[in-house]
Structures are given as structure tokens and as C-alpha cells.
């Protein structure tokens, strides 16, 4: 699982204009800094868990939201211990096939503080899962969502925002300023964008991160994917070895600074 920080406006970082132009207009509603968080989760077989959206407000928006998304709110619009607990109880334990899992699952997270509390660790353990924390600086190599899934999701989400900006129905303030998209509209974009991320993209991300092998017939054990005939041994985990080697490399680079 991973948290994706987003804003109500999602303009591109680059645009095309004639050489010598002093100003380049970018169409937005002025809400590039109005942030919220989308929590994404997926499994090595390509299954995607429902997204959870955390809006930056004290109460939940009184809007009709689409199915397939969990809506939350807190003053910071960001993951904390309470929201992590809610994600575990409302999404993680309801993942496809969870009832029939005979082997402990592996939940991979970054080293964000909300993932590291004793309460969260205890709750993860109660779900028959092992919590694996990726060391700081290594998420782009070891976090499947960071490897390629998040980017695919954000590209599709930006496309929905751009279409709304150019073709959607808009409302305006008394001063003529265009209002931002509603929370419900944003959530519909999120549901649609997440649905468009292919199974192959998710599986490829787990392979690139070294969590699963290219070889067929591999199954999930306590901390790794291993051939059915191979007994469990944490020392032979490809992902564990990759994490150790990258962590050592990152440490050496930090010492050189």
C-alpha cells in the first residue's frame, strides 16, 4: 500500500508555446495547493484494492459519492494512525481471497510514521500478516506502487481533470472565478483512473521490485514468493536481498556526502 498526495488541480508541468513568449498561461481553478490524499493498495496477482481518499477537512463532505471508494477526512488530509487502522479494517482485511489465505501475507509499506506505531503493528499481526517496512530512500526501487503503478494512475487522473477543465460543466463565484471540482467528482475520477490501471501493470511492478519471480508456479509464503517445492527461508527472498543491497548502496552514498 502507498499514500499518493494530490491536489484539486492537476496541471501538467510543461506546456508548448512560441519561442520568445514572456508568459505562458496555464488553465486551472487556482487550487493547485488544495491537497488531499489517496491511499492505494494492490496485490501481486494484479488485484487492486478499493482506494481510500482522505480530504483535508474536519467533517466528511455531504455529497453523493460513487461506489468503490472509501471516503475519510481529517484536518491535515494525510495518513495518521487512526486512518491507517481504518484502512486495515475497512479495506485490507476485505481484500479478495483474504478469508481463504492459509499462509501469512506480506504487507509492504514505506517508513512513514503512521505505519510504524505499536498499535498498527499489532493490528497488522492480527490480520495474519507480516509488516515489511521499506527503508527511507529505497521506495522507488522496492515499493511496487512507486515503481510504476502510481505514475500510471496519476496520468489517467490528470486526463480526467483536463477533460473536465475543457469540456465539463463549471460553476463560478460572484467575482467570476471558476470553482474547483467537487469532492464527489474528484472521487469519480479516482475510481475510473484506478480501474484503468491494468493488471499487467500491477504485476510488472511487483516483478520490477523483486517481490515475485518471472518464473511460473510461484506462491506467496510468509515473506516471499517461492517455488512450491522450496521450503520457506527468509534468507533466499529475492526482495529481501535486493532491499539489503540497495540499503547498503544508499548508506555508502549518504556517507560520501
Specify the CATH number for the domain of residue 195: 3.30.420.10
Cα dihedral 185→187→188→194 (10° resolution): 150
Range(s) of the domain holding residue 125: 2-7+36-162+181-209
pTM for the whole thing?
A: 0.77
Q: What is the number of structural domains in the chain?
A: 1
239 DSSP assignment? H
Question: Is residue 18's pLDDT more than 60?
Answer: no
Which of 3-17, 164-178, 243-257 has the largest mean confidence?
164-178
* Residue 156 within any structural domain of the chain: yes
CB-based burial label for 39 (10 Å; 0-12, 13-18, 19+): buried
Question: Is residue 236's pLDDT more than 90?
Answer: no
Q: How confident is the model at residue 60 (pLDDT cuts 50, 70, 90)?
A: very high
Question: Is residue 33's pLDDT more than 70?
Answer: no
Query: Which cell numbers in the block locate residue 132?
Result: 515489511
6 in helix, strand or coil? strand
74 DSSP assignment? E
* Residue 231 within any structural domain of the chain: no
* Residue 81 within any structural domain of the chain: yes
Q: Give Cα 195 to chain centroid, integer Å.
A: 13
- CA atoms 235, 240, 241, 247: torsion sign: negative
Which residue's entry shows cell 475519510?
Answer: 72
Per-residue pLDDT of 162-175, as tens digits, reads 888 888 777 777 77
Question: Is residue 227's pLDDT more than 70?
Answer: no
Amino acid at each position: 500500500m502507498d499514500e499518493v498526495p494530490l491536489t484539486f488541480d492537476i496541471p501538467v508541468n510543461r506546456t508548448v508555446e512560441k519561442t520568445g513568449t514572456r508568459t505562458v498561461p496555464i488553465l486551472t481553478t487556482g487550487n493547485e495547493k488544495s491537497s488531499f490524499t489517496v491511499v492505494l493498495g494492490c496485490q501481486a496477482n494484479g488485484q487492486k484494492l478499493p482506494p481510500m481518499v482522505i480530504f483535508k477537512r474536519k467533517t466528511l463532505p455531504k455529497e453523493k459519492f460513487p461506489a468503490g471508494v472509501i471516503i475519510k477526512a481529517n484536518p491535515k488530509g494525510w495518513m495518521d494512525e487512526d486512518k491507517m487502522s481504518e484502512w486495515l479494517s475497512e479495506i485490507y482485511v476485505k481484500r479478495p481471497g483474504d478469508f481463504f489465505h492459509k499462509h501469512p501475507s506480506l504487507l509492504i509499506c514505506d517508513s512513514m510514521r503512521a505505519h510504524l506505531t505499536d498499535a498498527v503493528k499489532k493490528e497488522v499481526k492480527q490480520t495474519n500478516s507480516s509488516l515489511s517496512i521499506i527503508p527511507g530512500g529505497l521506495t522507488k526501487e522496492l515499493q511496487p506502487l512507486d515503481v510504476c503503478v502510481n505514475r500510471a494512475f496519476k496520468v489517467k487522473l490528470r486526463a480526467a481533470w483536463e477533460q473536465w477543465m475543457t469540456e465539463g460543466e463549471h460553476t463560478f463565484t460572484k467575482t467570476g472565478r471558476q470553482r474547483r471540482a467537487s469532492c464527489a467528482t474528484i472521487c469519480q475520477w479516482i475510481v475510473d483512473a484506478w480501474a484503468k490501471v491494468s493488471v499487467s501493470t500491477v504485476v510488472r511492478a511487483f516483478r520490477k521490485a523483486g517481490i515475485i519471480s518471472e518464473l511460473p508456479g510461484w506462491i506467496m509464503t510468509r515473506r516471499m514468493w517461492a517455488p512450491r517445492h522450496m521450503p520457506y527461508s527468509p534468507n533466499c527472498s529475492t526482495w529481501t536481498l535486493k532491499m539489503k543491497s540497495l540499503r547498503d548502496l544508499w548508506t555508502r552514498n549518504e556517507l560520501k556526502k
